[in-house]
Amino acid sequence: MKTLAQEVIEAGGGESIKACYQCGTCTGGCPTAGEMDYTPRQIIRMVNLGMRDRVLTSNSIWLCASCYQCQVRCPRGVRITDIMAALRSIAIRDGITPARPRAPAFYQSFLENISTYGRQFEPMLILKTVVRSREGIGEKLGFLLGMLPMGITLMRSRKMPLKAERVQGIEEVRRLFSNAEKLEAEG
């Protein structure tokens, strides 16, 4: 059986994960570490120790803002941001119940929009995300209500298209999705 570290490497996290010496530079520079169940430094250690469930169900992987601050600063060349992305893709692939359900729902809806229209369409993206998100109806409504003032602000500035435009080469785009799926399946 594969170790979690091996899975992360295969999902694009880089071999250098093994080089981490736990200095904590990543955590020191992380803008969202204060909100995380485990800090970036702890996540790297936990991956190397194979603590699969705790890592993949933590909120840390969904609170990573992908800002690359940690990765740019790491003295050991550990690609922490890429590792966080790899962990997210593993969690989505395995259907693990996420600590922050809206984030994976957003990513999946984002891609679904691309395969439908070829481009992004924000109003539909928000609606799909909320429908798909594995959270209670109260939370869904709370989030939608929270987004409402922003929607109104954008409409008043004439920045919210209400009609989606589809690219002409949508079949090309859909072919990319099936090609990518085939390639991923081969490993």
Partner 1 sequence: MSQRYAYYPGCSLEASAVEYDLSTKSVLRALGVELEEIPDWSCCGASAGHAVSKALALALPARDLARAETGGADVVAPCPACYKNLRYVRESLEEEAGRAKVERLLEGTGLSLSGKVQVKHLLEVLATDIGAERIAEAVQVPLEGLKVVTYYGCYISRPGSMRSFDDPVEPVTMDVLCRAAGAAVLPFTRKVRCCGAPVMMSSPGEMHRLSYEILNEAKQRGADAVVVACPLCHHSLDAAQPEIEKHHGKLEMPVLYITQVLGLALGLHPWDELGLDRNVVSTLGIVKRFSKVECPSK
Amino acid residing at 121: F
Distance from C-alpha of 40 to C-alpha of 25, rounded to nearest angstrom: 9
- Among 19, 23, 49, 111, contact with partner 1 (rule: CB under 8 A): 111
Considering the complex, state which of residue 27 and residue 113 has its C-beta at the smaller distance from partner 1. Answer: 113
Considering the complex, state which of residue 23 and residue 180 has its C-beta at the smaller distance from partner 1. Answer: 180
* Binding window for partner 1 (CB under 8 A); candidates: 1-9, 17-25, 45-53, 72-80: 72-80
Specify burial of residue 36 (Cβ count, 10 A radius: 0-12, 13-18, 19+).
Answer: buried
Distance from C-alpha of 92 to C-alpha of 105, rounded to nearest angstrom: 9
Distance from C-alpha of 178 to C-alpha of 1, rounded to nearest angstrom: 28
Q: Report yes or no: 101 and 135 within 8 Å, Cβ to Cβ.
A: yes
Q: How far is the CB of 152 from partner 1 (least distance, A)?
A: 10
Name which of residues 140 to 159 contact partner 1 (CB under 8 A).
Answer: 143, 146, 149-150, 153-154, 157-159
Pair of tokens at residue 24: 């904590």
Pair of tokens at residue 71: 């990765």
Specify burial of residue 173 (Cβ count, 10 A radius: 0-12, 13-18, 19+).
Answer: middle
Considering the complex, state which of residue 49 and residue 127 has its C-beta at the smaller distance from partner 1. Answer: 127
The Cβ of residue 31 has, within 10 Å, a number of other Cβ atoms equal to 12
Q: Report yes or no: 174 and 145 within 8 Å, Cβ to Cβ.
A: no
Interaction of residue 107 with partner 1, rule CB under 8 A: yes
Interaction of residue 2 with partner 1, rule CB under 8 A: no
Count residues binding partner 1 (CB under 8 A): 65
Considering the complex, state which of residue 46 and residue 107 has its C-beta at the smaller distance from partner 1. Answer: 107
Interaction of residue 11 with partner 1, rule CB under 8 A: yes
Interaction of residue 39 with partner 1, rule CB under 8 A: no
Binding site for partner 1 (CB under 8 A): 11-12, 31-32, 35, 59, 62-69, 71-73, 79, 81-82, 85, 88-89, 92, 100, 102-108, 110-111, 113-114, 118-120, 122, 129, 143, 146, 149-150, 153-154, 157-161, 167-169, 172-173, 175-177, 179-181, 183-184
